């Protein structure tokens, strides 16, 4: 089975990102980029499918600026076979529609049975969430999103995939090949590349293509009437901490007791201690429980 995996690069989430009010956004020079966690799971699943069948190829298809090559080396170190990088200045401001259009043109010239994508990304939720469905639409392929499990069938029978739906339920779908799947992170655990594999990945050749090589014009990818526009950036609103609200009708002493007790008010009901002979204690207890409504007297 020949598999194409769509991969990319995202900002590292373990570093602090400062909001620049002059730029009205985040300065790109302050961001450290790395491989996408979702794409790592997609590459891992492609490797497992190939190894289970004992044959096939895995081709990585990335899109973005020159820095994306560093992330593609990480994916290659997981034992992918080849890599293609679509790099062009016109893609810098492209939305999901433009990116998927460029990717579809590259995929059309490739041999494939299955296309795998990460379900989303941490950098641009609105863009990457629709990348897989847009790409499937351009290629005229059936697609299944939110996949949590892939089962191989007999030759020519396609795949059986499990996808998550509302309230934690799962939907089982039989899908013919070729098709496109977007995978969730819970589908597998990506392998950690060995040092020799990482060194070998540094020497593997990555084919670079521009928009012109795909037969597209810059205006088709990045045009002023983009289907998706960013309205603006803003820092998150500060959350107001909920404080202790004390009834002002209480006296100063009572308010101080509540504040020192963490907001817990003292019990106002007096405790009742019964003593005396057993028969009298039983009568008093029965009367007390009746007054409090715990038990009722029989009407008979």
Q: Which range is most confident: 64-68, 164-168, 181-185, 226-230?
A: 181-185
Instruction: Express each pLDDT in 104-122 by its tens digit.
Output: 999 998 999 999 998 887 6
Six-digit token string for 146: 């939110």
Listed residue (186, 164, 178, 208) closest to 72, CA to CA: 208
Pair 264, 258: CB distance under 8 Å: yes
For 114, residues 6+ apart whose C-beta sits below 8 A from its C-beta are: 1, 2, 3, 4, 46, 49, 159, 177, 178, 179, 180, 181
Pair 188, 56: CB distance under 8 Å: no
Six-digit token string for 251: 């006296």
Listed residue (147, 139, 93, 118) closest to 9, CA to CA: 118
What is the residue-wise DSSP string for 54-66? Answer: T--EEEEEEESST
Which pLDDT score, from 0 to 100, does residue 34 have?
A: 84
Which pLDDT score, from 0 to 100, does residue 20 have?
A: 65
Q: Considering the chain, what percentage of its residues have pLDDT values greater than 90?
A: 31
Q: Start-end ranges of CATH 3.40.50.620 in the chain?
A: 2-221
Average pLDDT estimate for 71-84? 92
Residue 211 has pLDDT above 70, yes or no: yes
Instruction: Express each pLDDT in 5-48 by its tens digit.
Output: 999 888 777 777 666 666 566 666 777 888 888 999 999 999 99
Six-digit token string for 212: 């012109």
Instruction: Express each pLDDT in 252-261 by its tens digit.
Output: 888 777 777 6
Give, for 149, the enclosing helix (H) or strand (E): strand 143-152
Q: Is CATH 3.40.50.620 what the domain over 2-221 is classified as, yes or no? A: yes
76 pLDDT tier (thresholds 50, 70, 90) = very high
Average pLDDT estimate for 183-192? 90
Instruction: Express each pLDDT in 119-176 by its tens digit.
Output: 887 665 445 678 889 899 999 999 999 899 999 887 667 899 999 888 778 899 998 8
Q: 3-class SS at 170?
A: strand
Which residue is associated with the tokens 């994916």? 75
Pair 107, 131: CB distance under 8 Å: no
Rounded CA-CA distance 179/193 in Å is: 28
Average pLDDT estimate for 87-111? 86
Q: 3-class SS at 111?
A: coil
Which pLDDT score, from 0 to 100, does residue 126 have?
A: 47
**Would you tell me how many other CB atoms lie within 10 Å of the CB of residue 285?**
12
Which pLDDT score, from 0 to 100, does residue 3 have?
A: 93
Give, for 156, the enclosing helix (H) or strand (E): none
């Amino acid at each position: 089975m020949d598999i194409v995996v769509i991969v990319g690069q995202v900002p590292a989430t373990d570093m602090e990102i400062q909001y620049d009010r002059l730029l009205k956004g985040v300065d790109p020079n302050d961001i450290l980029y790395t491989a996408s966690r979702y794409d790592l799971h997609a590459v891992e699943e492609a490797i497992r499918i190939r190894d289970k069948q004992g044959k096939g190829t895995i081709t990585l298809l990335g899109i973005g600026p020159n820095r994306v090559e560093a992330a593609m080396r990480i994916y290659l170190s997981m034992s992918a076979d080849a890599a293609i990088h679509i790099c062009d200045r016109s893609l810098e401001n492209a939305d999901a529609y433009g990116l998927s259009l460029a990717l579809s043109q590259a995929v059309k010239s490739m041999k494939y049975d299955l296309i795998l994508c990460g379900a989303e990304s941490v950098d641009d939720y609105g863009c990457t969430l629709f990348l897989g469905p847009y790409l499937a639409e351009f290629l005229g392929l059936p697609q299944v999103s939110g996949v949590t499990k892939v089962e191989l069938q007999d030759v020519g029978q396609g795949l059986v995939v499990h996808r998550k739906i509302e309230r934690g339920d799962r939907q089982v779908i039989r899908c013919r090949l070729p098709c496109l799947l977007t995978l969730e992170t819970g589908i597998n655990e990506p392998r950690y590349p060995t040092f020799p594999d990482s060194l070998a990945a540094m020497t593997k050749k990555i084919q670079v293509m521009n928009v012109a090589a795909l037969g597209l014009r810059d205006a088709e990818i990045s045009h002023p009437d983009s289907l998706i526009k960013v309205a603006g950036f803003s820092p998150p609103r500060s959350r107001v901490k909920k404080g202790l609200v004390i009834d002002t009708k209480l006296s100063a002493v009572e308010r101080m007791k509540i504040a020192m007790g963490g907001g817990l008010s003292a019990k106002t009901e007096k405790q009742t201690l019964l003593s005396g002979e057993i028969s009298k204690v039983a009568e008093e207890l029965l009367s007390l429980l009746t007054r409090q409504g715990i038990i009722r007297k029989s009407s008979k």
